[in-house]
Structure 1
């Protein structure tokens, strides 16, 4: 008897999403936007998450078995610290990442007890609430946009193995400069510029966003929340032309623009 062929996994898109603080889960709009987005995606075999909230060099792989979440925020109501997201670990994905990144001068470390931080689990709770897709989080080993683009390119083959690569940050992020209700000018200006640069596939401008964008240094006084975009852009490759913006608008004055390639 002939064994039926196992279908090849669908090539997954590459995502950049604005993950938000834990209270975004209580927003009347954002959870539904993420749920609708994930419903339109092919079913991933695993998720590779790069969050703004884990900087570690050399590049580190987080837990490959279930581990407690990292509640990396302070001063919030108690119920935010009771959230659980018990997604399976992804040891096979970790092995693939090691294989893709293995090269002289490119060490990869394991931090076996490092669970998902809020940049990873807060959006995943809304996108995959059953917590039934294996997840691996890796660190940001640098904030240099060009080096992160290269990292994304090296990880891109995972997309053909059914892996959803997600860069998780926030399209504008300067909590100290939020003085009044509404959207501050620097946030609106940077969001508009960034949306136009993405639509024009102007990667060079995005790489040099601190000097080429209006209010770039105000929108990102420290660049860790924009940095995951460059991993996504590198992983997107030729799919830069297959681009959509499933989430846009603002939350507490910050741009929650989120982009899909492929």
Structure 2
């Protein structure tokens, strides 16, 4: 008997937080509620702000140790595990879709999930029973990342959950743990919300020039960049988008968006 057709999955952009996200019961609850409302994915394709590699690289397709790519935290944050199954079939599909468009692909078989991937997944899929593949960002150019997302969009019809994982504003020098929100972060967050609501892709692509205080909200753009892979993967569903999580953590915007 043939397998039942997969339900088309949404495409997500989420603000992944830092390892102490696990201590924020409001935020962890929001992530858990979000995943509970999603169709059960057959696999997850993760694009994290914390892996830049060109040409585009595929991470491990077997379960390997996590990448604890942070410093100065309590030891308990380095003891977190997330033994999700690898996704070799998904990796092969990604290779075919990208190479078919003339995009080179390389393999990093020992590269585990970094904290931009596993920190939110621990909260969203705590049983670690959904296969996960992480791919790198080969560039921070919005147009190039959108093109990659467009090529990967057919995976959604195979039950693959495409997640761009970043932070809607990200300036480590601006973090404050009494959660004071500066006008810079508030203005950029509001601009981004309105651009998404209006489906103003041209403005988003040119956010470094058009958004207020863009250079202060994103001194380097790697945490906004995964949004463009998500937008590309969701190109048929841009009108069906909604903010699932908003508000601020440490003074940074944790806005997270679902398409379809």
Q: TM-score range by the shorter chain?
A: over 0.9
Deviation at residue 24 of structure 1 after TM alignment: 1.1
Aligned to 2:207: 209
The structure 1 segments of at least 4 consecutive aligned residues displaced by more than 6 Å after TM superposition are none
Aligned to 1:233: 231
The 1:66/1:176 distance shift into structure 2, 3 A limit, reads same
Deviation at residue 53 of structure 1 after TM alignment: 0.1
Pick one of 166, 175, 187 that aligns with 1:189. 187
Deviation at residue 178 of structure 1 after TM alignment: 3.8
Aligned to 1:110: 107
Q: Distance in 2 between the 1:208 and 1:104 partners? A: 25
Q: Distance in 1 between the 2:101 and 2:41 partners? A: 31
Q: Distance in 1 between the 2:112 and 2:38 partners? A: 25
Q: What is the TM-score with the length of structure 2 in the denominator? A: 0.97
1:17-56 pair list within 5 angstroms: 17-56=14-53
Pick one of 121, 134, 137 that aligns with 2:134. 137
Asked if the contact 2:53–2:136 (Cα under 8 Å) also holds between the matched residues in 1, the reply is yes
Q: Distance in 2 between the 1:90 and 1:178 partners? A: 35
1:1-262 pair list within 5 angstroms: 3=1, 5-103=2-100, 105-178=102-175, 181=178, 182-262=180-260
Q: What is the TM-score with the length of structure 1 in the denominator? A: 0.97
Asked if the contact 2:48–2:136 (Cα under 8 Å) also holds between the matched residues in 1, the reply is yes
Asked if the contact 2:174–2:251 (Cα under 8 Å) also holds between the matched residues in 1, the reply is no
Q: What are the ranges of 5 or more consecutive residues in structure 2 without an aligned counterpart?
A: none
Deviation at residue 208 of structure 1 after TM alignment: 0.4
Root-mean-square deviation over aligned CA pairs = 1.1
SS across alignment from 2:162: strand
Q: Distance in 1 between the 2:150 and 2:102 partners? A: 17
Deviation digits for residues 175-195 of structure 1 (CA, Å, limit 9, x no counterpart):
113468401111000000000
Asked if the contact 2:32–2:124 (Cα under 8 Å) also holds between the matched residues in 1, the reply is yes
Deviation at residue 87 of structure 1 after TM alignment: 0.2
Q: In terms of mean alpha carbon deviation, does 97-106 or 118-127 score higher?
A: 97-106
Deviation digits for residues 52-79 of structure 1 (CA, Å, limit 9, x no counterpart):
0000000000000000000000000000
SS across alignment from 1:148: helix
Q: Distance in 2 between the 1:46 and 1:180 partners? A: 35
Q: How many residues align?
A: 259
SS across alignment from 1:15: strand
Q: What are the ranges of 5 or more consecutive residues in structure 1 without an aligned counterpart?
A: none
